[in-house]
């Protein structure tokens, strides 16, 4: 998991608050849980009722592409 400075954390939280797409908003919330609140993949998966593999996939996509990586794939 990549380290985020305070500005990056604020940007992530702002993106979460502004997002209107429910699926992407859920994925952004998972990133907030890990990147801002320091929760592990396992903790986040349990809290969000997702599998560990799903959260790891979202995290990998986020680390590679930023919030664009959390958009629904067609």
Residue 58 has a pLDDT of 97
Distances (CA, A) of 3 to 18, 22, 43, 54, 72: 23, 26, 18, 21, 25
Residue 3 has a pLDDT of 76
Position of tokens 């400075």?
5
Position of tokens 């969000």?
48
Whole-number Å distance between alpha carbons of 43 and 17: 22
Tell me if 36 is assigned to some domain. yes
Tell me if 17 is assigned to some domain. no
Tell me if 14 is assigned to some domain. no
Question: 15-42, pLDDT tens digit by residue?
Answer: 999 999 999 999 999 999 999 999 999 9
Counted domains in the chain:
1
Tell me if 8 is assigned to some domain. no
Q: Report the phi/psi class of residue 73: left, alpha or beta, with left for phi > 0 and alpha for psi in -120 to 50.
A: beta
Question: 51-68, pLDDT tens digit by residue?
Answer: 999 999 999 999 999 999
Tell me if 27 is assigned to some domain. yes
pTM for this predicted structure: 0.91
Residue 74 has a pLDDT of 65
Q: 3-class DSSP state for residue 30? A: helix
Residue 49 has a pLDDT of 98
């Amino acid at each position: 998991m990549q380290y985020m400075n305070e500005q990056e954390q604020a940007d992530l939280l702002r993106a979460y608050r502004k997002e209107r797409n429910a699926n992407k908003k859920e994925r952004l919330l998972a990133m907030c849980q890990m990147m801002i609140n320091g929760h592990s993949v396992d903790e986040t998966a349990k809290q969000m009722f997702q599998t560990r593999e799903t959260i790891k996939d979202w995290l990998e996509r986020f680390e590679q592409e930023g919030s664009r990586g959390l958009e629904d794939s067609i």
